[in-house]
Structure 1
């Protein structure tokens, strides 16, 4: 996938700007589970997902993770270039959910492009707004939705993502996704199993009754 396919404003750039973007971009293969960006401590650069899946998450003061959103093929990861964004002053971590092929553009190159190109700046603002919309949706879920509904929605979305109703998941990993405690997730899994919605074994969750899970999830499904 060519770099220009990620940027709808590409044709508005000068030949010199296009050449600098192309020359500075490097291809990188991230292994599953690799943490690419560790909040403000890092400034990897703008990441463009050629294939694979990235997970953006944050960590509370107590060390509890919660997934904010995921990035798929053709998505652009803005927060990995946080040092180029003056308004970004909080920690977001980026991890490869599966082996992923990426383009990485140095932050100083993209920052200069935003200063020179109004379409590039507008694209960046729209991207930022989209990410914050995802975060606000998640905040509403955490504050206003029951955990059993969020868990059902997560399992259904994970099954769709993996194209399988058999999921290799630990309770600790699910807790990290939902910002909960492992013990709470274990109790919820037992409840879903007692209701015949899932079958749980060590490191594995089998979706048994998708219709019941969908009903439970309600508007927690995106």
Structure 2
């Protein structure tokens, strides 16, 4: 790890400045930077827990898989995000089987499990950092579950389109109905039917593997009103 990487960690991990010289040397010796290609599975199933992850660039998706094999996206990780749930196997009593995969080529900083455990046991600032992140991420996950319990497929689809439009900074999304269905944890036929309904209402225009958003205000209304049904 070079000096630029050390400065990056010190700037973007708030507990770094609270480490002693010995702890900082330990953390710097453990932490490594790595580039992961799109489609790489970082954590899930029988894969070994990677550790604490800081995203320098790229995009990752955290999701769970139902017994029927349907995927439900929990959240996405962008630049400067810390993936505390990748460290779930380091934290006792967290029985949450989360999968994490790379959606765009990504460069990550990884603080491995054993090193993170050691720092957390020795330094209260590290432990508090982890607990605060865990609490924030847990709130996000509970929000997603709330949408599945009390929301509707139309509302979730509207929010999906708005979220991905913001992520791609474009009103034209290149995504298949199957990919959307996997993200939302529903059937492809349901997504296709809803998109056709959106198109009939001139909210979107459908092309070959593309969806063009025509009316963001209407999508925002759908995302809110359908959640209140």
Residue 108 (structure 1) aligns with: 114
User: Which 5+ residue runs of structure 1 have no aligned equivalent?
Assistant: none
Distance in 2 between the 1:69 and 1:14 partners? 33
Task: Please tell me whether residue 71 in structure 1 is matched to residue 77 in structure 2.
Answer: yes
Task: Please tell me whether residue 46 in structure 1 is matched to residue 69 in structure 2.
Answer: no
Pair 1:194–1:220, CA change in 2 (3 A): closer
Residue 4 (structure 1) aligns with: 10
Over the aligned positions, Cα root-mean-square deviation in angstroms equals 1.6
Pair 1:4–1:90, CA change in 2 (3 A): same
- Contact 1:199/1:205 (8 A) holds in 2: yes
Q: Which of 204, 209, 224 is residue 203 of structure 1 equivalent to?
A: 209
- Contact 1:6/1:75 (8 A) holds in 2: no
Residue 177 (structure 2) aligns with: 171
CA drift of 1:219 comes to 6.9
Distance in 1 between the 2:117 and 2:78 partners? 23
Pair 1:64–1:118, CA change in 2 (3 A): same
Residue 161 (structure 1) aligns with: 167
CA drift of 1:40 comes to 5.5
- Contact 1:46/1:105 (8 A) holds in 2: yes
Residue 149 (structure 1) aligns with: 155
Distance in 1 between the 2:225 and 2:9 partners? 36
Pair 1:40–1:174, CA change in 2 (3 A): same
CA drift of 1:39 comes to 4.0
Most deviating of 208-217 and 149-158: 208-217
Q: Which of 129, 136, 141 is residue 130 of structure 1 equivalent to?
A: 136
User: Given the two structures, how large is their TM-score scaled by the length of structure 2?
Assistant: 0.92
User: Which 5+ residue runs of structure 2 have no aligned equivalent?
Assistant: none
User: Given the two structures, how large is their TM-score scaled by the length of structure 1?
Assistant: 0.94
User: Aligned residue pairs: how many?
Assistant: 221
SS at 1:52 equivalent:
strand
Distance in 1 between the 2:203 and 2:181 partners? 19
- Contact 1:6/1:76 (8 A) holds in 2: no
